[in-house]
A = this chain, B = another copy of it.
Amino acid sequence: MIAVLAGGVGGARFVDGVAQVAGAESVSAIVNTADDFDHYGLRICPDIDTVLYTLAGIADPVNGWGIAGDTRATLDGIAAYGEEPWFLLGDRDFSTHILRTAWLGNGIPLTSVIYFLRSRLGVGSQILPMSDESVATRILTTDGELAFQDYFVRRRQTDEVHGVRFAGIDSAQPTEAALTALSDAELILLAPSNPIVSIGPILAIPAYRRALQHRHRPVVAISPIIGGKALKGPADRMLASLGHESTALGVARVYAGLVDGFVIDAVDTDLAPDIEALGMDVLVTDAIMHDQADRGRFAREVLKFAQTIAVRTAV
């Protein structure tokens, strides 16, 4: 069994690669929910849905989020009623949000809702929300505090990020399903996701952080920063403005003490000694997933690397 902490498009694609190689039923994705929000009265879970659609093989191949070939008649109707359609939602995509909202409204926990949705889409891997309670990432900027999707989508990540907080994190409980997935895992992977706003909220729940700190099995993280840049999203700028180094080394420092192995791209080879000095084995490889088949190639290399490393931290 393999547990993958993930969020965002890169995270979803990496989970897909691991599922291709290890077998879908062997993989549990523990997914960030701190960018979930309510929109038009519907509960939207962008990171979970990106994993869901990616593993179901229906994700839009260009954007990475949303459903391939989806239409926009519902959103056009909403716009015709005068509501600004700043968050793009396709017609088929709406069915996910509508049913999820209805079921949550009936008191069904998010974990069970997602179990049902992924089962219906034929997804064999577990997709586990990090919590059934609501957590909301808030982005501190010079214009004040913004809701995450306001910063991320509406304002297109143009604000300099001076701080990040996760509203509700103190009362958010880990789920039994995610704790079980972590304790059953022979390997725990941190996907190439934004360390601050995708992996960060998961590790801000004490039980998950403790599970990594007191690990029995190796933990391997993949750098989302390659050559100082994020392939997608604002992770590079966010690391820099928050006082981190905007490099794979900067990401490794964020994860220090939690991981035994770290995967970087060949362009970052010169960072390997400093990462090793943090107490991590390093895999240097082509860390870009060039297409869907290439996700398997990359995951295979990561899993092979994981077999070579030992847990660095005593339980």
Chain A positions near chain B (C-beta within 8 angstroms): 40-42, 70-71, 73-78, 80-83, 90-96, 98-99, 101-103, 105, 116-117, 120-121
Contact = CB atoms under 8 A, between A and B. Distances in A.
10 contacts: A40-B99, A40-B102, A41-B99, A74-B94, A76-B92, A80-B121, A81-B95, A81-B99, A81-B117, A98-B98
A91 B120 contact: no
A41 B98 contact: yes
Given A40-B98, A40-B99, A91 B78 contact: no
Contact of A91 (B40, B71, B82, B102): B71
Contacts of A76: 92, 95
User: Secondary structure at chain A's binding surface: helix, strand, loop or mixed?
Assistant: helix
A96 B79 CA distance: 11
Contacts of A78: 95, 98-99
Contact of A74 (B80, B95, B103, B105): B95
Contact of A94 (B77, B96, B117, B121): B77
A92 B77 contact: yes
B120 A95 contact: no
A100 to B, nearest CB: 9
B117 A95 contact: no
A99 B74 contact: no
A276 to B, nearest CB: 47
Given A77-B93, A95-B80, A41 B71 contact: no
| Interface hub of A76, A81, A121 (most chain B Cβ within 10 A) | A81
| 3 nearest A-B residue pairs (beta carbon) | A77-B95, A41-B102, A73-B91
Contacts of A120: 80-82
Nearest to A117: B81
Contacts of A96: 77, 81
A92 B75 CA distance: 8
B105 A41 contact: yes
A115 B129 CA distance: 39
Nearest to A93: B77
Contacts of A91: 71, 73-74, 77, 91, 94
Contacts of A101: 41
A92 B73 contact: yes
Contacts of A75: 95
A197 to B, nearest CB: 26
Contacts of A94: 74, 77, 91, 94, 98
A108 to B, nearest CB: 11
Contact of A71 (B40, B73, B81, B121): B73
A303 B42 CA distance: 45
A82 B94 CA distance: 15
Given A41-B103, A73-B73, A77-B94, 19 more contacts: A40-B98, A40-B102, A41-B98, A41-B99, A41-B102, A71-B73, A74-B74, A77-B92, A77-B93, A78-B98, A80-B92, A80-B120, A80-B121, A81-B95, A81-B99, A81-B120, A91-B94, A94-B94, A94-B98
